[in-house]
Structures are given as structure tokens and as C-alpha cells.
Amino acid sequence: MAAGNFALQDLLKDLNKVFSGSTKCNWLKCILHDILKGDELSPEEKSAMQLFRPLCDDGIGLISTTDVEILLEIAKLTDQHSAKTRIGEYKKNTQGYNGNSVERITPFRRALYRALRHVSTTELADIAAYYYQDSKDFRDVWHFVFYLETHDNDNLLLDSTRVKTERFAKLLNGIAKSNLQVYIDSLPPVQTTTGPPSGSESVASRPASEGQSTKVSWTSVGTVLSSEDYQQLVVKVSYWWKRYGKINKLKVIIGQFKSKLDQSELETNKDPYKLFELLRVPGIIGPSNVDVLIEAVVIGEMGSLDEKLATIRKWLPKFPGFREISIPKYWDHRRKLIEFGRDLGTEEKTLIGRLLELDEEPEDTWMLILQLEKKRTFSDKEKLAKFIKLLKDNEMDHLAAKFE
């Protein structure tokens, strides 16, 4: 947002008054959870202005001098009449206004917000107990849901997938549950013949085991995005990775193409946008082929793919049509590495590092995998077999099974 645009500043100041107080701050955090970063969503109370400001940054770009539609969406969703009136005045008085009515807030966030509005503090004890938590550790149901949606980073207890949403909905009172049920009914049913065991995510939201075909609906080769739409897609998807704090996990995934990438940049860069730029230079991704960009989201288990694709369609209304495809076989090894890293505990990470005499303690499981790849631990069958034996000899059979 250009400095000195006081008309927009005045609008945000007025909305800051409308959404003042801890309760309305909770509303905003819930609604904007998919957009804001973890530190911006911390349990500490923030003002509406503090939550709106990041939406003006170029990296997100959902609020600009000529587009305040997301603010209007929030005002309508929360039924704040004074906010709707004030935003309407701003739009009417803004020359060159070009915001469109495409929804920025996902159906899941809308449904979750509406549901939580009807959950009382007295109900929290039983809901928390179901997840083995003490309600005394949480200020209110909004704070507790924030915990569910950020738990363990890679093992969320609540997200937009059918199984986890249904699990949470069954704990709610009738009115709250009905609000979530509208969203659940819009999702495709969980596949029972080839899908994962009960209690896990749907097949579209996590990688399949070896030999299993993962069917996902999305766009692919044969159409060309405009340079502007392609750029917006890369910027927005990059923000997902940054927001979830999974930069090293992304490095493991795109390590599939390490022979074509600048190794120094791959190892040291912590900006997902620049990592995707590494893929663009050799032509792995581009306006005519966004396959890898989307496949990385699937393999990285970035929540519900259906939800992510719906969001992309809102960013880019002209995004090409979807079709059924399978994740290519060349991702099989990467999927095994992701499953290995996902189940690797902190103590096991340290133990493996010491057994293999790594030069430094890896900061997380994904950095451990990157270091193992650098040591060529998985480079051929013989070396992989040696690593599997090392795991079994040290009572890590469950991890060894990921590679067998």
C-alpha cells in the first residue's frame, strides 16, 4: 500500500473501532487463520488494525487502495452494519476502484466461525477433554481451536478435511454443529475402498502408499496462464509454505530435481518464492505447466487439496478447468521421505544424527533428511539397505518400514 494513502488509513482506523475488544479480535483471527502467519495469530490479544495491516502487504495483497472487498466480506459475515456502511462509503468515494466480488474467505473458515459463535464457555470442558486437554489451559473456545489448528505443525488436530471437521462437529451443540454440517455436506465422501484408515485424512489431502494411485482434481498441461496470473499463483502458493513454516519440508520435496538446481541456493535460501524460482529457471514450472507447483502441495500435505484449489480459483477466476490425474510415480521416493520425516520424533532425529556422525544437530526432521541426502544415504539400493539396517538395529523398525 502506498505511503500517505490516508483515506484507506482512515477506513482501517474506523474498522478498528468496530472490531475492538477480545471477542471480535477472536472472530478476526478465526476468519483470517488461513491468511495470516503464526506470530500474527498468537494467543495474545491484538487490535483489528494489527490484524488488517498484514493484508495490505505486497506478499498478501488482499487489501489495497482500490480493493477492500475482503473487509466487506468480514463485515457481512460478522453482521457488523456500521462496518458495511463505512466500507460502502469508501468504495463509492474511491476513483478507479477495481475490487471484484470473488470470495477471499474459504467456505471452511466461514462455517467454523459461524459454528464457534454458538459454542459457550461451559461446553469447552467436554470438548477439550475429548482431545485429552484441560480446558483450564485455554481462555475460551477460540483459543482452544487455535491450538487444534496449530498442534504439532505437521499433525493438525483440526483442518478443513472431512474426517477432522466431522470429528470436531460431533462434539458441538445442535446449532453449532449444523453450521459446520453445511460445509461438511459440500465435501466429497471419504473413499472407503482405497482410502486411508478411519481417523486419518482423505486421500486427496495426503500422499498414497507405494503402488496406490492418488486421484486429485486440478489443472494441468495443455493450457497457458497469463504471466500475471502465473506470477500471482506462485506468490500466493509461496505464502502458504511460509505461513505454515514448512520451508525445509519444501526443500525435501523439490530435492527431487536437485540435479537441475543451484545447490547453494537450495541449501541456504529460506524464501519459498525464491525456491520456486529455482524450479522456473530450468523450466520445471512455468505459465504452461504448474503441475509441480500443485503436486508439491499434495505431497507436502498442506491441508485439504479441494480447499486449496477452491482458493486458487478465487484468486484466478480464469484458472483452467480441472481434470482427474494421478500423482506421477517419480514422486514415490519423495513420498516415502515425507512419511519418514512426519513420523520421526525429536529423540530419534538426534539419535540418527549421532549414529551417522552428522557435522551439526539438524534444526528439524526435514533438515535431517536434507543432510542425509547430502551424504547420499539413499542414493542406491545398497546404501538404503544399510540405512534401513541401522534403523532396525536401533529399535526404529517403524521408521525402517517407510522404505520397505
Q: Which residue among 62, 92, 122 closes a domain?
A: 92
Residue 110 banded pLDDT, cuts 50, 70, 90: very high
* 112 vs 320 pLDDT, higher one: 112
User: Are residues 352 and 328 both part of a single domain?
Assistant: no
Residues 173, 127: Cα–Cα separation, whole Å: 11
Give per-residue pLDDT as tens, 186-216: 876 654 433 333 333 333 333 333 333 344 4
User: Are residues 228 and 315 both part of a single domain?
Assistant: yes
Check residue 318 and give its pLDDT. 65
User: Are residues 27 and 68 both part of a single domain?
Assistant: yes
Check residue 57 and give its pLDDT. 79
CB 53 within 8 A of CB 85: no
Question: Counting Cβ atoms within 10 Å, is residue 195 exposed (0-12), middle (13-18) or buried (19+)?
Answer: middle
User: Are residues 348 and 271 both part of a single domain?
Assistant: no
* 281 vs 145 pLDDT, higher one: 145
Check residue 304 and give its pLDDT. 64
Is residue 324 situated within a structural domain?
Answer: yes
User: Are residues 322 and 355 both part of a single domain?
Assistant: no
Give per-residue pLDDT as tens, 358-400: 877 888 888 899 989 888 888 888 889 999 999 999 989 999 9
pTM for this predicted structure: 0.54
Q: What is the DSSP letter of 64?
A: B
What is the percent of the chain where pLDDT is above 90? 29
**Average pLDDT in the 41-46 region?**
71
Check residue 214 and give its pLDDT. 44
Tell me: pLDDT of 105 over 80: yes
Residues 319, 316: Cα–Cα separation, whole Å: 5
Is residue 353 situated within a structural domain?
Answer: yes
Tell me: pLDDT of 219 over 70: no
b or e along 24-50 (b: 16 or more beta carbons within 10 Å of the residue's beta carbon)? Answer: ebbbbbbbbbbbbeeeebeeeebbbee
Residue 132 domain boundaries: 110-185
Check residue 79 and give its pLDDT. 94
CB 304 within 8 A of CB 205: yes
**Average pLDDT in the 339-363 region?**
86
User: Are residues 233 and 307 both part of a single domain?
Assistant: yes
Give per-residue pLDDT as tens, 277-330: 988 888 888 887 788 888 888 888 776 666 676 677 777 766 665 544 457 788
191-200, 225-234, 243-252, 273-282: range with highest mean pLDDT:
273-282
151 closest CA partner among 81, 229, 244 = 244
User: Are residues 353 and 307 both part of a single domain?
Assistant: no
User: Are residues 361 and 264 both part of a single domain?
Assistant: no
* 34 vs 32 pLDDT, higher one: 32
Would strands 215-218 and 323-326 be described as parallel, antiparallel, or unpaired?
antiparallel
Check residue 1 and give its pLDDT. 46
Check residue 86 and give its pLDDT. 95
Distance linking the first and last C-alpha atoms of the chain: 52
Is residue 101 situated within a structural domain?
Answer: no
Is residue 233 situated within a structural domain?
Answer: yes
Tell me: pLDDT of 181 over 70: yes
User: Are residues 163 and 256 both part of a single domain?
Assistant: no
Q: Which residue among 120, 154, 185 closes a domain?
A: 185
User: Are residues 348 and 316 both part of a single domain?
Assistant: no
Check residue 223 and give its pLDDT. 57
Counted domains in the chain: 4
User: Are residues 293 and 228 both part of a single domain?
Assistant: yes
User: Are residues 156 and 56 both part of a single domain?
Assistant: no
Is residue 279 situated within a structural domain?
Answer: yes
Tell me: pLDDT of 99 over 70: yes
12-21, 99-108, 192-201: range with highest mean pLDDT:
12-21
Q: What is the DSSP letter of 196?
A: P
Tell me: pLDDT of 331 over 60: yes
